[in-house]
A and B are shown apart, each in its own frame.
Chain A
């Protein structure tokens, strides 16, 4: 680097010119996620919102089994690890005892839409005043690439090696649309984090959901359609292209349910 560039660097890279920095609500622990994995981005965006709202002392997170089971290593707030699928029940236990605190779960598709379907639907139906972050990458990441309830028709996984045959393996479960039918549910939106604009929209969705929780409006679900480069056997860039070309057409982005009058 030349002297001139160095000078410019020192001049520009000062606090008052800061446009983006890692939020203090993330710990210094490097994330274990694979290169390009959307989990990191989703963690980061959620924690940015927590920092901006100044609620890091008033929020409790629940991370059940899945790649994100270690979320408590990265999110610098009080956290509980939960059994596979049980995050909404665990969150219910916390929220019912601390209604004035913010409570969120951070769950994958296998967790929320397969083994935890009952807990998810009933927490939603009771209108539990919690935020559920639902990471949909169409596959089981942690156990290395098995078919998930959200795996696309024809999509190859280690347990649907010839592609998901909907005749024998069932159809992908659009749990967000399903939950939106329930009166206890205040807000359901589907977002992604694969491009900068989508990241911005996801951040807004988190902010809205936590605002609704503050006002006691009920169950809020933010689905994030994302990638799994390692188990999709793609580079990060290829996986994001797959999100654009295949995932989003099947799981269209946008608000599915918003509180009345919004």
Chain B
């Protein structure tokens, strides 16, 4: 089965923490950091690996600080091994 791995890179120094990306993410991958950047903004960070690279966050980002990557990994089917692990 193919697995989609999405990643985003946020230019945190130019992020203004507007949260539009947080709202736009269908997989709740983005949150606002507790720390601030040099301009004093609490910037956006990626908080989990559910990202599919859908680019919604980058589309709505007014400051163009998000780059999005997406890799489709075709995995073999070691289904039985997985079952063993679960049991």
Contact = CB atoms under 8 A, between A and B. Distances in A.
A229 B17 CA distance: 13
A17 B70 contact: yes
Nearest to A240: B20
Interface in B40-62: 41, 49, 53, 55-56, 58-62
A164 to B, nearest CB: 27
Nearest to A196: B56
A12 interface: yes
A36 B7 contact: no
A94 B18 CA distance: 37
Nearest to B64: A22
A44 B60 CA distance: 10
A233 interface: no
- Size band of the B side of the interface? 20 to 34
A12 B69 contact: yes
Interface in A177-227: 193-196, 199-200
Nearest to B70: A19
Interface of chain B, main secondary structure = mixed
Given A9-B7, A237-B19, A39 B66 contact: no
Interface stretch (A27-35, A106-114, A121-129, A149-157): A27-35
A39 B18 CA distance: 13
Nearest to B16: A35
Given A196-B24, A240-B20, A38 B62 contact: yes
Contacts of A235: 19
Interface of A: 5, 8-9, 11-14, 17-23, 26, 30-31, 33-41, 44, 193-196, 199-200, 229, 235-237, 240
